[in-house]
Amino acid sequence: MRCDIFCTVIDHFGDIGVSWRLARQLSDEYGWRVRLWADDLTTFARLCAEIDARAPQQQIGNVIVEHWRTDIDWSRRRIEAADVVIETFACHPPLAYIAALARRAQCAPPRRAPVWINLEYLNNEDWVIGCHLKPSPHPRYPLTKYFFCPSLIAGAGGALKERGLDETRRAFLANAHARTALWTALGLPIPTSDATVVSLFSYENAALKPLLAAWRAAAAPVVCIVPEGIGSNAVARCLRLPSPAAGSIAAFENLTLCIAPFVHHEIYDRLLWNCDLNFVRGEDSFVRAQWAHRPLVWQLYPQNSDAHFAKLDATLATYAADLPTAARVALTHFWRVWNGAVPASALDWNGFWQHRGIYAVHARRWAHQLNVLGSLAAHLVEFCESVHCGYGPAARNTLS
């Protein structure tokens, strides 16, 4: 199967992060020939050190990476549409490419027509089940686009997860030398055994200042690791520090602030595994934190008219459903404060973290529940190959 994935980078690192993970998994695990079209290779290079931001075309591992530029004259380019076309987050492939896709669909045998997928953002609201795999006929061409909805609830598309991730995580955590080497590689001191180690990856957040104040006054040491960028600059303003560089360390009462370099995917996974609690944002890091088997706090990307609050509440209803009442109430309140649904003055760190033992057990149990739903790539491959081989509507019944 040949696959083209299109990605526009509009949400910091989340869009390209998801697209890159999916491209590698389809190529490495399923043998698909994948071409990833990305419009911002400079941002992409922050996640993948092998990317040359100046190259119009390059191969990274088994994936061909194309620079998707708006100044390309697609009408003069020989376009060969793939077997599977994935537009991530409704990014709209070039019109000339869609026309080429339509030509291929018209010429292809009935059982070899191309498959066009719109990969949606992760969502856990009830309507997602009805939208997942729903066909959408093109208004001009004889093409059908299918909506594929990543989700943490049964009946939808699942979440991205590579084969062997659990084995890699367990091997890392069992290797004391590897865990120590991670801190050295990040240029950070090894936390003491009595410290709560927290990773903090966030957008601008009104609740950040009271959270840092709570950590400064905490009964036990808190080591906060912040990747350099938007989050580290916000933390620095709250603590009245100059803009921090990677490797910077500052102590404030019981809080030790450590600025980590922005790292590629594999190292970030190890950081999540090595922490007691992970604050994550957007979609990609949120999913990775769940596979880390660690307690987490999620910050959604803010939307107009506070539309993200409905997504937050739907996720809380799913994620926190099996928690004991007190722990569920504390977690729900903390996540809502962190996302601005409740005033920042209501933040209660001690009320939340007193349930840390329960959250740790729940995080492991939750990851096992997600495994039962199956991985996003596996569902996507099964659906695309079924449609491409002519099985049609039966694919929907077997996947939903």
Domains 2-159+374-393 and 165-373 share a fold: yes
Of 328, 308, 298, 315, which is closest to residue 370 (Cα–Cα)? 315
What's CA 185's distance to the chain center, in Å?
23
Q: Which residues of the chain have pLDDT under 50?
A: 391-400
- The whole-number pLDDT of residue 244 equals 85
Of 291, 286, 289, 288, which is closest to residue 301 (Cα–Cα)? 286
CATH topology of domain 2-159+374-393: Rossmann fold (3.40.50)
The number of residues making up the chain comes to: 400
Q: What gap in Å lies between CA 144 and CA 193, rounded to an integer?
A: 56
CATH topology of domain 165-373: Rossmann fold (3.40.50)
Query: What DSSP line would sit under 137-193, residue for residue?
Result: E-SSSS-EEEEE---SSTTS--B---TTHHHHHHHHHT-HHHHHHHHHHTT-PPPPT
Question: How many angstroms separate the Cα of 394 from the Cα of each of 115, 206, 376?
Answer: 15, 48, 18
Instruction: Say if CB 247 and CB 284 are below 8 A apart.
Output: no
Edge-to-edge strands, sheet with 196-200:
249-252, 255-260, 222-227, 196-200, 277-281, 296-299
Q: So where are the chain's domains?
A: 2-159+374-393, 165-373
Interval 219-232: pLDDT, tens: 999 999 999 887 88
Q: Name the helix (H) or strand (E) containing 396.
A: helix 394-399
Q: Name the helix (H) or strand (E) containing 277.
A: strand 277-281
Eight-state DSSP code of residue 393? T
- The whole-number pLDDT of residue 215 equals 97
- The whole-number pLDDT of residue 78 equals 79
Query: What tokens were used for 276?
Result: 């007691």
Catalytic residues: 15, 283
